[in-house]
Structure 1
Amino acid sequence: MTRLLVECTHVFKHPTVNSGIQRVVRNVINQLPASADGVECMPVVVLNGELYRVLQLAPLNTPFYNALETFGGRLERLAHRFWQWHQKRDAQCTSKLARRILYVGYRLTVFAAFGVPIRLIRRINRTQLLKRCSPLQHQPGDQLVLLDSSWHSDLFAHVEQLKRDGVGVIAVIYDLIPLTHPQFYDTRLVEVFSEWFAWITRTADGYMAISATVRDQVREELQRRIGGEQTDKRWFDFFHLGSELDLHTTEATVEPRLKQLFTTPEPVFLMVSTIEPRKNHAYLLDAFERAWVAGSTARLCIAGRVGWKCEALLTRVRNHPELNTRLFMFNDLSDTSLEHAYAHASALVFPSFVEGFGLPLVEAMQRGLPAMGSDIAVFREIGGEFMAYFDLQNSQSLADLIIGFQRSGQFPAARDVADWQWIGWREASQQLAERSVRNVLEAPMAPARQHAHCP
């Protein structure tokens, strides 16, 4: 093994996005160790079909070039989708003549519609690009860790070439939810993710999940797709995520309306997530409405950007009789404001149907904020006896927890969150690097570790 190359292309191109995966990528890259078990580690990006070592993840203050780079990225993603379409059609052709015609048509379209404008944009942006990264020559034995959301990228063909040149490929898997619960997503995202996972099933040598729960799901999915013999040729492991809010600064101010929310004595229950169907905000409203009818004065604070398939939920919130009285919603909180909310809320509530990890749980609990979560396997893995769990089939289950906690002042978990400890992003990044290196180097594969705190 030569070097561990940790890929962060999408975040490099879109550094201002701060939702789940982007937060993970940014923190892992910023905390990436220089080496793991004697193997050099470095952040890399795949841009314009070339490999670069990242010198600066944060963007330069050049609005024109940033806008041009964004446009170029969209054009390249469109070209990548066209490449995927061609690959499918080529595989379906049985006639050599038909394949030749398809190939010629593909090449002409690529040249006219994508090739010329993309090359021009690349040339303009190259001077700015080289201030943030430098060209890197791959070597046989390098291991490319696909940390970022590579289903959004156009790097498939380049990764395949790297693999032919002797570079190993490690896929980081955040979850399989678009495959297992496609109803929560738009059709196009499900298609893109499905194509990506089919590709990564063929391409990756090993898989690093963000929880033991997801690791086991990935192994089972590969066994279903390619059989036990081929699955046994791959390795599977996991690392856990950190808990710091890296964009929090003491200079920034807290959202005034949020700050006002915590100046009265009634308890505030905090929900932090993108607003989309999988997060189950409707269940949350049902539970709090039951609690309010029963006389609870608890308040619900929903914090998260507006996502997809949530029009009915947003209408319900905006027309709710308790809005800005016992129900509050914030769609654009900074990390500084979120830190304030974690510090002053009474509890976190997290009713997701399914998760790959549940980052707000560790963010809250590491700050001493107790958490109530849906009774799903990954939450049990993370929270153990330190969390309170409710039944997603019955919103009264959560309402009872809310009412009981307010009346007794005793959080309904078996163990006190004050005794709970978790890792930070430095340890998370180190886990990813060290476990990747060990799985590549060791034979037979090291036994799977069950907890985040294992060395």
Structure 2
Amino acid sequence: MTAERSDTSVAIEDKEVTRPPRLAIDATGLMFWPPGEGLAGIPRVESFLINAALADPDPCVEVVAFRANEGRFRPLAPYEQDHVAAGGISPHHVKRWPGRRTALSQAFEAVRQQPWGKRDADRHLAKTVTNGRKGIAYQATRLLIRAYHLYQRARIRSGLRQDVPSQPAETERGLVLISHHILTQEDRSAVSGGAGDLAFLCHDLIPTLRPDLLGAGTGETRFGSYLEHLVRSGAPAFCASDEVGATLTDHMRKAGVAAPVVYRFPMPSILHETASRVGKTSRIETDEPFVLYCSTIEVRKNHILLARIWQQALDEGVKLPRLVCAGRWGWMIDPLRAYLKAHPELLQSITFTGLVSDEELIGYYRRASFGVFPSHIEGWGYGASECLDFGVPVIVSTAPSLIEATGGLMPAIDPQDQQGWYAAIRRMAQDHAWRSSLAERIVAEQHRPTPAAVSWAAIKAGLQASASRL
């Protein structure tokens, strides 16, 4: 991968790496995701990264999680690897559970090293002893470890042992590519503390640019300041779109922060790659045409615009294909719920599927007549680029990242322009020749799904280049 550099980027080939640095991918965020539940958006991208690192035979690559009680990143325990792994794990990285007795001994040693650990540390250590299994054994182990913590503290207070703060073991210089969870949840101490040299994925700057679309939580109000701290500390940013890289640089300029190092990587076509493995990428003709919008249902995604358009069609006696909204229900959607309640007949024309599996979503892309993506603002817009991956024409909003994600090949309309969207949707539904020409444009312009291996190679090269400059 080459990262263009004006004032914001560096060429990855600038310096040959003479000593392989340690490159770590943070799995803290994915550890909080329920096992077996479908992934979308940022968690899907982070899962790709984690599993690419686990599968990479390079011994300098590892997967870690942040231990708040220690203030540092640690390699995953065996049960944690099992939790996040979706494919094969390289023999260089696989961790075997040492058995309960050895694991308990190791847990006690960790308590001796960190006697002031909190209950989160007890829970983590208990899971390492039981290899992630819950139940009576886990509960008993957790209580035993808590008691041992209290015992060690009592010895310190009574003078029977000297409380010498343990020093973290020296680790090889390198970078940790932190998860989105570190920036948005309680583990921000990894950013503000001395956990090591960091890099970050900048998916978007929506919490800073449009907090009105996300709510007024603490995570949103502090997001920009934490990005600024990262950039001031020299952390490079990895962006899937040129638009986000430029926006990040502009934000730092306005904040009086030197331009960040920005690496651009191609967004992987994860779903299409999954479909390719099982031979399910070809189009499926269906008797009932439908329009697909794949996205979390939240105010930013602008589902209410589509509801109003389908209602307008009903009022005018215009028949539009069924609208299928695939995705979980999210936040700030009271206006949409109120509109649907006031127009109950819409549910005859619009289907909200809720969370769907990858297999179901692949089926929707293969059968959809066309897609829509009227979001107000995006960092990328996975549902739009996935339409092109499956050869499905899609109407997008004029959000720059959406135009970039679809290569400028698809019609783009202002997300506030209801009449413009109504006309384009009617034309796409009724003008078969126009719809076919857009589908042919995807092929003619040689849009190709991006293999996950290509994305991982680009990110790894960027990490190596930055780590070599430490």
CA distance in 2, matches of 1:239, 1:138: 31
Matched, 1:303 2:326: yes
Residue 311 to residue 247, structure 1, CA distance change in 2 (3 Å): farther
| Deviations 1:383-422, CA, capped at 9 Å, x for gaps | 1242121232321112112221222202274962234213
Cα offset, 1:225, TM superposition? 1.4
SS in 2 for 1:59: helix
Q: Please point out which of 24, 31, 49 is paired with 2:52.
A: 31
Point out the structure with max Rg over C-alpha. Answer: 2
Normalised to the residue count of structure 2, the TM-score between the two structures is 0.70
Q: Map of 1:180-219 to 2, 5 A cutoff?
A: 180-188=209-217, 189-219=219-249
Match of 2:151 in 1: none
The structure-2 alpha-carbon separation of the partners of 1:265 and 1:116, relative to structure 1 and needing over 3 Å to count, comes to closer
Task: Check conservation: 2:207, 2:224, Cα contact below 8 A.
Answer: yes
The answer to whether the aligner puts 1:362 opposite 2:381 as a matched pair is no
Where does residue 308 of structure 2 map in the other structure? 286
**Shift of residue 118 of structure 1?**
3.3
Residue 59 of structure 1 deviates from its aligned partner by 2.4
Once the two structures are TM-superposed, the CA of residue 19 in structure 1 deviates from its matched residue by 3.0
Give the residue type in structure 2 aligned to 1:145.
L
Report the AA paired with residue 209 of structure 2.
T
Instruction: Tell me: CA distance 1:57–1:314, structure 2 relative to 1, closer, same or farther (3 Å).
Output: farther
Q: Is the alpha carbon distance of 1:366 and 1:116 closer, same or farther for their aligned partners in structure 2, counting shifts above 3 Å?
A: closer
Matched-pair contact (CA < 8 Å) for 2:22–2:172: no
Aligned to 1:438: 465
Report the aligned-residue RMSD. Answer: 3.5
Alpha carbons 1:213, 1:378 under 8 Å: kept: yes
Q: Distance in 2 between matches of 1:249 and 1:35?
A: 22
CA contact (8 A) 2:174 2:467 kept: no
Q: CA deviation at 1:155?
A: 4.1
Superimposed CA distance per residue, residues 139-171 of structure 1 (whole angstroms, 9 cap, x where no aligned partner)? 2421111144312444444556656xxx43212
CA–CA separation in structure 1 for the residues paired with 2:208 and 2:458:
27
- 1: CA distance between counterparts of 2:306 and 2:292? 11
**Quick check: 337-346 or 235-244, which moved more?**
235-244
For residue 206 of structure 2, what is the aligned residue in structure 1?
Answer: 177
Alignment of 1:121-136 (within 5 A): 121-128=123-130
Q: What's 1:375 paired with?
A: 398
Query: Which 10-residue stretch deviates more, 318-327 or 353-362?
Result: 318-327
Q: Is the 8 A contact 1:51 1:137 kept in 2?
A: no
For residue 199 of structure 1, what is the amino acid of its counterpart? H
2:245 counterpart of 1:221: no
In the TM superposition, what are the counterparts of 1:146-161 in structure 2 within 5 Å? 146-158=178-190
Match of 2:270 in 1: 244
Q: CA deviation at 1:322?
A: 3.6
Kept in 2: contact 1:375–1:392 (CA 8 A)? yes
CA contact (8 A) 1:347 1:369 kept: yes
Cα distance change of structure 1 residues 119 and 297 upon mapping to structure 2, 3 Å threshold = closer
What's the counterpart of residue 334 of structure 1?
357
| Cα offset, 1:352, TM superposition | 0.4
The equivalent residue for 1:396 is 419
Gapped runs of 5+ residues in structure 2?
Answer: 1-19, 85-114, 134-167, 279-283
Question: Which deviates the most, 180-189 or 147-156?
Answer: 147-156
Q: Deviation digits for residues 54-108 of structure 1, max 9, x if unmatched? A: 3554429xxxxxxxxxxxxxxxxxxxxxxxxxxxxxxxxxxxxxxxxxxxxxxxx
How far does the alpha carbon of each residue in 1:24-65 deviate from its partner, in whole angstroms, 9 at most, with x for none? 1001211238769x89322211124343223554429xxxxx
> Shift in Å at residue 279 of structure 1?
0.4
Q: TM-score normalised to the size of structure 1?
A: 0.72
User: Pairwise mapping of residues 403-442 of structure 1 onto structure 2 (< 5 A)?
Assistant: 403-409=426-432, 410-411=434-435, 413=438, 416-418=441-443, 419-441=446-468
Correspondence for 1:70: none
Aligned residues with identical type, % of pairs: 21
Counterpart for residue 22 of structure 2: 3
